[in-house]
Amino acid sequence: MTLFPNMFAGPFGESIIKRALERGLVSIATHNIRDWATDRHRTTDDYPYGGGAGMVMKPEPLFAAVEAVLVGVEPGSVSVIMLTPQGRLFCQPVADELAHHERLLLICGHYEGVDERVRAHLVTDEISIGDYVLTGGELAAMVVVDVVVRRLPGVLGSEESAQFESHEGGLLEHPHYTRPPEFRGWKVPEVLLSGNHAQIARWRREQSLRRTLERRPDLLEKAALSPEERRFIDSLRREV
- List the chain domain ranges: 5-150, 164-239
CA distance 18 to 229: 39
Amino acid identity for residue 135 in this structure? T
Residue 162 clears pLDDT 80, i.e. is over it:
no
Distance of CA 141 to the CA centre of its chain: 8
Which pLDDT tens digit goes with each residue over 103-129?
999 999 988 899 999 999 999 999 999
Residue 158 clears pLDDT 90, i.e. is over it:
no
Which pLDDT tens digit goes with each residue over 14-48?
999 999 999 999 999 999 999 999 999 999 999 99
CA distance 240 to 159: 36
If DSSP codes are grouped into helix, strand and coil, which group holds residue 190? helix
- The superfamily (CATH) of domain 5-150 is SPOUT methyltransferase, trefoil knot domain (3.40.1280.10)
Q: Calculate the average pLDDT of the chain.
A: 93
Pick the CATH number of 164-239 from 3.40.50.2300, 3.40.80.10, 1.10.1270.20, 3.90.380.10: 1.10.1270.20
Give the count of alpha carbons within 13 A of 220, CB side only. Answer: 19
Residue 64 pLDDT: 98
Rounded to whole angstroms, what are the CA distances from 93 to 97, 147, 208?
6, 11, 19
Residue 163 clears pLDDT 90, i.e. is over it:
no
In terms of pTM, does the model score above 0.85? Answer: yes
Bridge partner residues of 83 (DSSP): 108, 127
Phi-psi region of 220 (alpha: psi -120 to 50; beta: other; left: phi over 0): alpha
> How much is the average pLDDT of 81-89?
95
Residue 60 pLDDT: 97
Amino acid identity for residue 121 in this structure? H
Q: Lowest mean pLDDT of 11-20, 159-168, 230-239, name the range.
A: 159-168
Interacting residues of 41 by C-beta distance below 8 A, sequence separation 6+: none
Share of residues in the chain with pLDDT > 90 (%): 88
Bridge partner residues of 45 (DSSP): 57
Task: Print the SS3 string covering 113-180.
Answer: EECHHHHHHCCCEEEECCCCCCCCCHHHHHHHHHHHHHCCCCCCCCHHHHHCCCCHHHCCCCCCCCCC
